[in-house]
């Protein structure tokens, strides 16, 4: 249980770092620049920056000007903490001793941790900036190809996944002349294909459309959006990809159940 708590806290801390990186738009600046309030520009103190705790400590407001802080910060920190905790539980359980795990188990945990972090970063970029940047998707594609190859995944499965998922978005891009999807969606499709394979990639795509339709309908019903309001589809692709990464076979059996 103690190890599970450590995994969650590490995930929350990583979420805080990713949030800061995306909002600033520069990884170099995120490492060396001091954090400030977006409104009054006062430098934040160390205890203000503690993941989850800092936001609660400040009651969701800047300590200096009382400007309301976005609730997305603690939600994303908590979400990534839980996402990495589920990776740990999926592979070893809640109370497993990390010192008795073999190399193969650590390899799977590390792979899914890296894949989850990449998907979380793309989720956040599309949510906050409306982008699926090439500087993330292209290296992520290469990482997924190499890592899955080392894990013994079929090269044919990876290639088919990339072609089908990437081709699906490419066809929409050509048919709509870039109005329905962007180039980032094409590369996100390729990423899901090489990360999850053909079947898993299609499964993630279906889940993304179901999630997107559900959120869109909720926004319409409560007057939060109109039919013309664009939804960051990359966020749903990232969520669908994560769900398939951990629970793909179980979800597929539910989908195909008569």
* Higher-scoring residue by pLDDT: 243, 229: 243
pLDDT at 151: 80
pTM, rounded to two decimals: 0.89
Q: What's residue 204's pLDDT?
A: 95
Is pLDDT at 183 greater than 70 in this prediction? Answer: yes
Q: How is 1-57 classified by DSSP, letter by letter?
A: -HHHHHHHHHHHHHHHHHHHHHHHT-HHHHHHSPPB-TTT-PBPPGGGGSTTHHHHH
Neighbour-count burial of 32, counting CB atoms closer than 10 A to its CB (0-12 exposed, 13-18 middle, 19+ buried): exposed
| Percent of the residues in the chain that have a pLDDT greater than 70, as a whole number | 87
Task: Tell me which of 226 and 4 has the higher pLDDT.
Answer: 4
The reported pLDDT for the residue numbered 99 is 64
Please determine, for residue 46, whether its predicted confidence score (pLDDT) is greater than 90.
Answer: no
Lowest mean pLDDT among 29-38, 137-146, 159-168: 29-38
Q: How far is CA 171 from CA 162, 177, 180, 185, 189, in A?
A: 14, 10, 10, 11, 12
- C-beta of residue 90 within 8 angstroms of C-beta of residue 96: no
Taking Cα atoms as reference points, which of 236, 149, 153, 155 lies closest to residue 189? Answer: 236
What percent of the chain clears pLDDT 90, i.e. is strictly above it?
A: 48
Name every residue whose Cβ is closer than 8 Å to that of residue 131 and which is 6 or more positions away in sequence.
Answer: 125, 184
Phi and psi (nearest 5°) for 84? Answer: -75, -30
Using 50, 70 and 90 to split pLDDT, how confident is the model at 47? Answer: low
pLDDT at 125: 93
Mean pLDDT of 233-244: 96
Q: How do residues 109-130 score in pLDDT, each as one tens digit? A: 999 999 999 999 999 999 988 8
- Each residue's pLDDT tens digit, 15-38: 988 988 887 664 444 455 666 666
Q: How many CB atoms lie within 10 A of CB 64?
A: 16
CB neighbours of residue 131 within 10 Å:
17
Rounded average pLDDT over 240-258: 86
> Tens digit of pLDDT for each residue in 198-224?
999 999 999 999 999 999 899 888 887
pLDDT for the residue numbered 28: 45
């Amino acid at each position: 249980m103690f190890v599970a708590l450590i995994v969650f806290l590490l995930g929350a801390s990583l979420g805080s770092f990713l949030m800061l990186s995306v909002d600033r738009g520069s990884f170099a600046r995120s490492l060396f620049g001091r954090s400030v309030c977006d409104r009054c520009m006062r430098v934040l103190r160390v205890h203000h920056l503690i993941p989850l705790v800092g936001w609660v400590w400040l009651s969701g407001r800047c300590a200096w000007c009382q400007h309301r802080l976005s609730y997305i910060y603690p939600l994303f920190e908590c979400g990534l903490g839980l996402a990495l905790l589920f990776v740990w539980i999926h592979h070893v359980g809640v109370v497993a001793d990390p010192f008795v795990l073999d190399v193969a188990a650590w390899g799977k945990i590390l792979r899914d941790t890296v894949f989850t972090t990449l998907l979380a970063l793309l989720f956040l970029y599309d949510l906050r900036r409306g982008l699926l940047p090439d500087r993330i998707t292209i290296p992520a594609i290469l990482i997924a190809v190499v890592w899955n190859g080392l894990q013994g995944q079929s090269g044919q499965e990876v290639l088919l996944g990339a072609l089908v998922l990437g081709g699906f978005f490419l066809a929409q891009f050509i048919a709509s002349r870039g109005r329905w999807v962007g180039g980032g969606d094409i590369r996100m499709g390729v990423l899901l294909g090489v990360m999850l394979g053909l079947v898993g990639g299609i499964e993630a795509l279906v889940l993304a459309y179901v999630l997107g339709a559900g959120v869109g309908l909720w926004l319409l019903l409560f007057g939060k959006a109109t039919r013309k309001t664009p939804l960051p589809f990359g966020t749903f692709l990232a969520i669908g990809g994560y769900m398939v990464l951990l629970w793909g076979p179980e979800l597929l059996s539910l989908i195909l159940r008569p």
